[in-house]
Structure 1
């Protein structure tokens, strides 16, 4: 097994920008579906719009619906990252910047570990810890979940990409 250097802050943040754009697109799509579901509940008579001018105002005024909206947005983000980290160790942005998240043994993450890592990242702010832990280049989510982010060679990055279904 080849050993690769750990990634610094610049590559991590560049990758996060790429992935952030994709997550935003998925979040927008999931909110369209969420709004359609709420509209369907209103049409079926299971939910009342009351005196709210539209469905968005109803969601904003309802603590329960606001909670579900937040839950859906967090779930979309966690599922995005966990799926890619468990499948190949690389998200779309990580692939572009030749990064891979793995265990210290070089193994792919399990679903529980990948989900925990996504939650511990604190919307990417956990990466700032790389500046303090300059010797080991570990982010908060890496320390908590026992993971590392490495910079792959061009050949290894291509090998991983080619091995995907």
Structure 2
């Protein structure tokens, strides 16, 4: 009586939309994760400022000549390099933890995408080296623009790290 259609069957318009949906989902997940990374950076900054405050109170460092702790951390001192390294490690730890545990950051979970290993004959789980390669070659997300033109819907960092972003079923 009713004509049943196959939900898996797609026409040409849907195929084009799928290509762009991969790009859109990646960008939306990046925006979601950017808020989380900002919160992690704020927390790490607070910890860093607290450590400098304690070191100053204990007499290990001297803040004379600086307006406040933020001026000290922004100056061209070794402390500013250590502080920058501390922030980078905090952010890197976020990505390493989530991507090695399940292949998804919180933004990826929200948009139902997952990062998997594309190396043939290996498990889907990502290695820390793959994640580091991905993060260094992503060019702050600009590598995702290649998805718009790539037939396999892979980004620049996917090729370098031998990974693949897949869309999960709803």
Normalising by the smaller structure, the TM-score range is: 0.7 to 0.9
Q: Which residue of 2 aligns with 1:129?
A: 146
Query: How far apart in 1 are the matches of 2:63 and 2:136?
Result: 33
How far is 1:93 from its partner? 0.7
Residues 99 and 152 in structure 1, CA contact (< 8 A), matched pair in contact too:
yes
Residues 82 and 118 in structure 1, CA contact (< 8 A), matched pair in contact too:
no
How far is 1:120 from its partner? 2.4
Q: CA RMSD for the aligned pairs? A: 1.9
How far is 1:135 from its partner? 0.8
Computing the radius of gyration over CA atoms, which structure comes out larger, 1 or 2? 2
- Structure 2 gap ranges (5+): 1-17
Query: How far apart in 2 are the matches of 1:67 and 1:130?
Result: 35
Length, aligned pairs only:
149
Q: Which residue of 1 aligns with 2:136?
A: 119
Residues 42 and 48 in structure 1, CA contact (< 8 A), matched pair in contact too:
yes
Q: Which runs of 4+ in 1 moved over 6 A?
A: none
How far is 1:78 from its partner? 1.6
- Output aligned runs, 1:63-102, within 5 Å: 63-102=77-116
Query: How far apart in 2 are the matches of 1:40 and 1:149?
Result: 44
Higher RCO structure (Cα 8 Å, ≥6 apart): 1
Query: How far apart in 2 are the matches of 1:152 and 1:51?
Result: 55
- Structure 1 gap ranges (5+): 155-165
Give the 3 Å change call, closer, same or farther, for CA 69–126 of structure 1 in structure 2. Answer: farther
Query: How far apart in 2 are the matches of 1:124 and 1:28?
Result: 21
Query: How far apart in 1 are the matches of 2:133 and 2:93?
Result: 11
2:167 to 121, 126, 151: 151
Query: How far apart in 1 are the matches of 2:160 and 2:65?
Result: 47
Deviations 1:36-90 (A, max 9, x none): 1111111122211021110111111134222222222222222111211111111
Query: How far apart in 2 are the matches of 1:37 and 1:142?
Result: 38
Question: Normalized against structure 1, the TM-score is what?
Answer: 0.82
Query: How far apart in 2 are the matches of 1:71 and 1:142?
Result: 26
Give the 3 Å change call, closer, same or farther, for CA 77–126 of structure 1 in structure 2. Answer: farther
Secondary structure in structure 2 of the residue aligned to 1:107: coil
Residues 86 and 108 in structure 1, CA contact (< 8 A), matched pair in contact too:
yes
Q: Which residue of 2 aligns with 1:29?
A: 43
